[in-house]
Amino acid sequence: MVSKRAREVTPFMAMDVLERANELDDVVHLEVGEPDFEPPEAVFETAISSLRDGNTNYTAARGKPELRRAIAAHYDREYGVAVDPGRIVVTPGTSPGLLLALAALVDPGEEVVLTDPHYACYPNFVRTVGGTVRTVPLRPEDGFQPRADAFEAGLSALTRALLLNSPANPTGAVMDGETLADVADLAEATDTTPVVDEVYHGLSYDVDEHTMLEYTDDAFVLNGFSKRFAMTGWRLGWLIVPEAYVDAVNRLAQNLLICAPNFVQDAGVAALETPPDRLVEIRETYRERRDLLVDAVAEWGLDLGYTPQGAYYLLVDVRELPGDALDVADFLLEEAGVAVTPGVDFGEGAADYLRFSYATDIEAIEGAIERIDAALSTYGEIPSEAGN
């Protein structure tokens, strides 16, 4: 019999939408969260030559020293923060890093506080380590910025960790330095630990990015190469660990993961050494796409209520339209040929919303906007059970 833990793991709806959308002809995909850029050329060259040099064996579980030093140099360059490479654990993607962090922190029955909305997979990570999810609501009028006082109200004696994500999926909100500092203070005062997923760092528009490490060393900070370097399938990430947990996380990594792929770690060094102008260009492209969609949403008469400042997502309130958000998502897929993700994937607080991803080229986004314009002119005719 399938374990209770596995039975409680919910499907990732964006993947279900993708599967359905792939069965239809001529669909514009605004549901996927995967960058449409290629990794830097030096990443390919380094991976290939590293492979040819025979770097295909296991490495130390915590990762190759060159990569851990390159990650430390990245924090110094980007944020002026000194990170001891001894606190860095390289992982096969950000996701396994989160598993290690929660496995090191949470005992069965203890709680992890998440924001609502949150990245769809977070509750399933918490359940997998036997933890319990508590949520604190985010509000569009705060720009979906978490507030330390809301977190404080969400804590109990059983709370071990506060799981945050900035820039955020699905809202695109970027936490400001003051909020990060407040959360760090709250965690210290309540003997809880922030776990901060910074995988979208590098993809912020018109705002400064801050890492939690500027405010505390007593936090787990997750990051990886999937988004900033468009290296999703390469499976490479890292975890910065508070000193007191280094040994435990290393033992967990040795047992559960063995290591990240050897030659991919070399490619990671090349990625981190990419000249910054490439990212500046990519960021500008994402910003243009965001602006295009933000304007389109206003023209559809929907109130976005905030400006998404990072990642590549917009969370759009569709209460103005007939039917619930699932009906509207079905309508957009079947009538307009545009796939988006129903917000309920990201928590109850997002049930009236749809997530639009702009990780696709500008022509496709323009096409999607035209299709939605045309379809919405008939939206009053949506039967509330559309597409079921």
Residues contributing to the site for ligand PLP (CB under 6 A): 33, 93-95, 119, 165, 169, 197, 199, 224, 226, 232, 237
Distance CA 316, CA 171 (A): 9
Nearer to ligand PLP, 232 or 307 (CB): 232
Q: Burial letters for 222-249: b for 16+ Cβ neighbours within 10 Å, e otherwise?
A: bbbbbbbbbbbebbbbbbbbbeebbeeb
Q: How far is the CB of 120 from ligand PLP (least distance, A)?
A: 8
Nearer to ligand PLP, 104 or 311 (CB): 311
335 DSSP 8-state letter: I
* Spatial contact of 235 and 76, defined as CB atoms under 8 Å apart: no
Nearer to ligand PLP, 215 or 313 (CB): 313
Distance CA 104, CA 89 (A): 13
Q: Which string of DSSP letters, residue by residue, matches 124-187? A: HHHHHTT-EEEEEE--GGGTT---HHHHHHH--TTEEEEEEESSPTTT-----HHHHHHHHHHH
| SS3 state at 354 | strand
Distance CA 181, CA 247 (A): 27
Q: How far is the CB of 165 from ligand PLP (least distance, A)?
A: 5
Q: How far is the CB of 381 from ligand PLP (least distance, A)?
A: 35
Q: How far is the CB of 18 from ligand PLP (least distance, A)?
A: 13
Distance CA 263, CA 267 (A): 6
Pairing of strands 341-342, 313-317: unpaired
Nearer to ligand PLP, 148 or 163 (CB): 163
Q: How far is the CB of 20 from ligand PLP (least distance, A)?
A: 19
Q: How far is the CB of 293 from ligand PLP (least distance, A)?
A: 18
Nearer to ligand PLP, 259 or 336 (CB): 259
Nearer to ligand PLP, 229 or 379 (CB): 229
**Residue written as tokens 């025979």?**
54
Q: Phi-psi bin for 163: left (phi > 0), alpha (psi -120 to 50), beta?
A: beta
Max Cα distance, the chain (Å): 63
Q: How far is the CB of 167 from ligand PLP (least distance, A)?
A: 9
Q: How far is the CB of 335 from ligand PLP (least distance, A)?
A: 27
Query: Is the Cα dihedral 123, 126, 131, 137 positive or negative?
Result: negative
Nearer to ligand PLP, 94 or 128 (CB): 94
Q: How far is the CB of 287 from ligand PLP (least distance, A)?
A: 19
CA 117 to chain centre: 12
**Residue written as tokens 């496709």?**
364
Distance CA 257, CA 96 (A): 8
Q: How far is the CB of 33 from ligand PLP (least distance, A)?
A: 4
Distance CA 131, CA 242 (A): 20
Nearer to ligand PLP, 235 or 371 (CB): 235
Find, among 182, 280, 165, 277, the residue nearest to 224 by Cα. 165
Nearer to ligand PLP, 11 or 383 (CB): 11
A 10 A CB-CB count for 7 gives: 10
Nearer to ligand PLP, 46 or 223 (CB): 223
